[in-house]
Amino acid sequence: MRIASSVAAGVWVWLSAGVPGVALAQSADTSGRIQYSLFNPVPGDKMDEFTTDRPTKADVPFTVDAGHFQYETDLVNFTNQIGSSGHTDTLLAPNPTFKLGVTNTVDLEVSVALISRVHAFSPATGASSTIWGVGDVYARAKINLWGNEGSATAFALFPYIKAPSAPPGIGNGAVEGGLIAPLAIALPYEFTLLINTEFDAFKDSVGDGRHANYANLVNLNHEVIKDVTLYVEFWSDYNNDPVQKTMQYSFDTALSWTVRPNLQLDIGANFGLNSATPNLQLYAGLSQRF
C-alpha cells in the first residue's frame, strides 16, 4: 500500500507543480477548444476521432472529449488456464469501463466485472469448485501529455487504484494500484504502433507486504478494409512476488469494426506462450460514445 500511495502522491505533486508536457499539450491545442470542460462539452462537430482502449490489452494515450461519456465493455470474456494440478476457467460477462471527459486532456474512468465466474477442476482428484461474484472495482485517470488531437506521436500517464470488491477466489481482498504509460506512434502506410509500460504495486501472495509487478507490450495495428482494423500484439508481465516470481508472455490478435462514428464492435484472442500464462483467452466487445 505504501508503494501505491507513493506512486499516486508522486503523480499528483508532479502534475500540480506544472509538468512541461501538460503545458505543451494545452498550448499545442490549435482547435480552439481550450474553453471546453465537463460542464461546457465539446460540440459534436469538433470532437476527436473515436478511440478506445479495446480490443487488445493495449491502452491508447487519447482521452474522451470534454463533457462526453463513453463505455467500453466485454460482452463475454473467457479465459482458460492450465496448471500442474488442473485447469481454471474464468468467465466475465459483461466487464464494462465507464469514461467521462473532464477537460481536453483528462478523463476519469471506472471499471468492474459485473458478473465473474471462476471454475477450477483437478483431474487427479476429481475435485472442482465454482465461484460467482462481481469483480474488483478499478478507478483510473488518463492524463494526456501531448498528441491528443492528432500528431505523429501521443503520450499519456494513466494512474489507477483497485478497490477490493470481489469475493475470495475471484479477488485477493487487497487495495492495489499502479501507473500505465501508453505511447502511440504513427508509422508509414497508416500503421500505428502502441507501446505500453506499466508498473503495479501488488499485495504479496503470503502476508501483508507489497511487491512490484512490471508489464510491457508492443501493439501494431492497421485498417485492413474500410472501418475494420487488425491488431497484433506481444505482451509480457513480470510479477516479483517474494514467494513465487512469475513471468508471463502472450501473443494477442483482434479485429475491431467501427460500425458508426461513435460505435465499435470487436473480437479477439490471446494465446499464452509459456506455462505460467493462460493458454487461451477469447472475447467479444462493444464500445460507444455519447
Please provide the CATH number assigned to the domain covering 2-289: 2.40.160.40
CB 287 within 8 A of CB 269: no
Q: What is the pLDDT of residues 198-222, one digit of tens each?
A: 999 999 999 999 999 999 999 999 9
pLDDT of residue 5: 40
Regions of the chain where pLDDT drops below 50: 1-31
Q: Where are the domains of the chain?
A: 2-289
pLDDT of residue 258: 97
pLDDT of residue 122: 85
CB 119 within 8 A of CB 130: yes
pLDDT of residue 29: 45
pLDDT of residue 151: 86
pTM: 0.85
pLDDT of residue 33: 52
pLDDT of residue 7: 37
Q: What is the DSSP string of 138-201?
A: EEEEEEEEE-TTS-SEEEEEEEEEEE--SPBTTB-S--EEEEEEEEEEE-GGG-EEEEEEEEEE
pLDDT of residue 124: 78
